[in-house]
Structure 1
């Protein structure tokens, strides 16, 4: 009964209205800004990874803000989430993840430029911004801003907490036989120690761990793909050819309709890039910058790195190694982290152990980033007085998440993300002219012309 309710809620939340808004606003900004996400991607990457002037005001450098956002974005969705997307939506789901990545890059740009423009200095002397402030200060719609903050708190317990703990526990249990509850308790303890350091601590941890774990994972993926070069063209063709036609998993044990492929691909693409959710904009608001457009470009590059690069590598590895469509020892289809582990284990002697370590690090940094997002939203709603209680609840949910059923966790996370996206996308639509006008006014300062 509960499964049925979650499935019903998922289909309602991820129905036509949300998908129309998500795709529509992405197409609008792509046209209005002349494909800025493609034209200015090199500039965005230079800003993100280049040296920054120390005189600019804010709490984090461009690099630290990007790594903090990527700490949340480069989570389990880029690893096991791709596997669950392929299982639920067929190989064509990846094509729709690519579509979401392209449109999502420009959406993240819009979210960030508004976040920096409308940010404030909070009671603790820190920069505070994000969709809740953009909506209230830019539109005066306090009710919609409150909805976004409330839904973000809910999502932080879902995809930003329970899902991460569940997948880390599942991976460690599968590879090393560690009891999920033990993993949950240990992870909760580390999270409790870390979240009291605030955004500066999270930024430093993210700047250290995110590049290391991302580079390690991509290196392993590249080594596997190098072993399977002849299969790559066929894998790419299967992804494109099944994008608009019903497909089935390679093992024949699951079917995927076109609606499933599109819905799953877009929802997973949103989760893996965070485009449309508005959460990355909260990290962007803390950036040291005098120019909102600069930080917006930096935030935009995160969508490319998360979905365009990480998810593509993961999907190709799953397909060319044959892990996608394989069965476990009980004759059941591999799914989630188990499928990703199987793919790396087939091709590399240390593959499965390496992926488990990467999953654990990804999960840990994602929970840290979402703890920060949640605190900023809670501070917006009730001030600082609710933060100690929420921290305790957040830590406890890590333990609960580690022993929760996988399918329930993913459905809950997708529902929470969809609810969070509604107020954010409504705000983006209403403030679309502000985004375009600010871009035309500010981007010449970066030596790249829009007009």
Structure 2
């Protein structure tokens, strides 16, 4: 059995019924117990984005969100959506929505726990994330170490490096005929320039780049949707119909069962928004706030922006332009969709620039996540050179990522993502009473404060 076949078998187990039920089931449970918090408290969550920073922490709540979004808004929004629809048909988009809706409750819970159980490391930096609430909340240090190990795996071999670098390289080669070695060299130097400056430099870049690139991409999508406005309602109908009905082969589309649409939709949805993976809590823990619930609400909006907004835009563009059942795939498929609403050159520019920016910020965010997991595992045992070892390993993998086969990259990324999610979801379930109690206490206190202000 070759490595690819072995990885395929492992991936089938990792992303089998147990993990899918654990992901969706945890989100469903929290959605019900928190009384549709992601719906009724979304306006409050959005308003908290602009609340001045107060309390202990390294970053403002908005900077922490942008750092988390820098890691989530990436190739999953362009290549991942295209791959999901190519394999599972338009119905895969529905399952991405479902994963995101329940994932918002999961994202709230994990980021709230990150702030509640965070601590300060020996260098005076805020240290938090699943490894800390697993150890300090559940009292299971071995499970915390397992999460950190898988987190480093995702940073090194999953979302953090190979998938992003390969996507950037392919996009620049197709659009501008840039050689692979040139992309690898320049990208490695750029990543080094930012990441070696620590979390604050990463956050500064994220605060400027993430909102700009997201708004620009959404506006480009709106232009395509406007150009094909008569196809929007039929597109939604097709998504809903094919989510529960097998889709026959047509054009370059090979056909898909409902099970394929469900599995690929949820897997790509999680790849995109990372709800339940435990990555965003690492950034959320650094926020300057004294209210765990407030940071949980702010972080929850990340899933809304990433999947409900941006992935939906990409999916609709692919469907209404008809390229989903053509012969192209991945970034080339999305380029073809944008070219349908304008010139081929414009289509290439839009997708290439968006993809490069999205993937670059994802690399930055995951460098930070992996570094915190590395520090949790190694502490001071490697001395002052410990973090430098991680940084040079990460940069080496960035340089190598452009030369690795695409299908192997996505298989490896999916596998390590799933492995990382399992310990985190176990922790969320184990700390469910803490989540509910903390949430009720905050909103009771908030209600009392409002009443006092009215009667004053």
TM-score by structure 2 length? 0.94
| Aligned-pair CA distance for 1:398 | 1.1
CA contact (8 A) 1:166 1:404 kept: yes
Matched position secondary structure for 2:21: helix
Match of residue 334 from structure 2: 340
Match of residue 298 from structure 2: 298
Q: CA–CA distance in 1 between the matches of 2:411 and 2:81?
A: 14
Query: Taking structure 1 as reference, are residues 226 and 445 closer, same or farther at Cα in structure 2, changes over 3 Å only?
Result: farther
CA contact (8 A) 1:91 1:249 kept: no
Shifted more, 352-361 versus 421-430: the winner is 352-361
| Aligned-pair CA distance for 1:346 | 2.2
Deviations 1:265-290 (A, max 9, x none): 11111111110101000000000100
Deviations 1:343-389 (A, max 9, x none): 11221342321221111111111101000000100100001533111
Query: Taking structure 1 as reference, are residues 57 and 204 closer, same or farther at Cα in structure 2, changes over 3 Å only?
Result: same
Match of residue 330 from structure 1: none
Q: Output aligned runs, 1:15-414, within 5 Å.
A: 15-48=16-49, 50-53=50-53, 55-157=54-156, 158-248=158-248, 250-327=250-327, 334-349=328-343, 350-383=346-379, 385=382, 386-414=386-414
CA contact (8 A) 2:64 2:286 kept: yes
Q: CA–CA distance in 2 between the matches of 1:246 and 1:286?
A: 45
Q: CA–CA distance in 2 between the matches of 1:313 and 1:447?
A: 37
Matched position secondary structure for 1:256: coil
CA contact (8 A) 1:86 1:249 kept: no
What is the number of equivalent residue pairs in this alignment?
441
Deviations 1:385-420 (A, max 9, x none): 331111111111112211211111111100010000
Q: CA–CA distance in 1 between the matches of 2:400 and 2:248?
A: 33
Shifted more, 73-82 versus 347-356: the winner is 347-356
Query: Taking structure 1 as reference, are residues 308 and 249 closer, same or farther at Cα in structure 2, changes over 3 Å only?
Result: farther
Match of residue 9 from structure 1: 10
Deviations 1:100-134 (A, max 9, x none): 00000000000011000000011221111000000
CA contact (8 A) 1:151 1:419 kept: yes
CA contact (8 A) 2:253 2:324 kept: no
Q: CA–CA distance in 1 between the matches of 2:115 and 2:72?
A: 19
Q: CA–CA distance in 2 between the matches of 1:438 and 1:380?
A: 26
Match of residue 453 from structure 2: none
Q: CA–CA distance in 1 between the matches of 2:440 and 2:392?
A: 45
- Supply the RMSD in Å over aligned alpha carbons: 1.4
Matched position secondary structure for 1:51: coil
Q: CA–CA distance in 1 between the matches of 2:371 and 2:445?
A: 33
| Aligned-pair CA distance for 1:252 | 4.7
Match of residue 452 from structure 2: none
Matched position secondary structure for 2:196: helix
CA contact (8 A) 1:90 1:248 kept: no
Matched position secondary structure for 2:324: coil
Gaps of 5+ in 1: 328-333
| Aligned-pair CA distance for 1:313 | 0.2
Q: CA–CA distance in 2 between the matches of 1:351 and 1:309?
A: 20
Gaps of 5+ in 2: 450-456
Matched position secondary structure for 1:399: helix
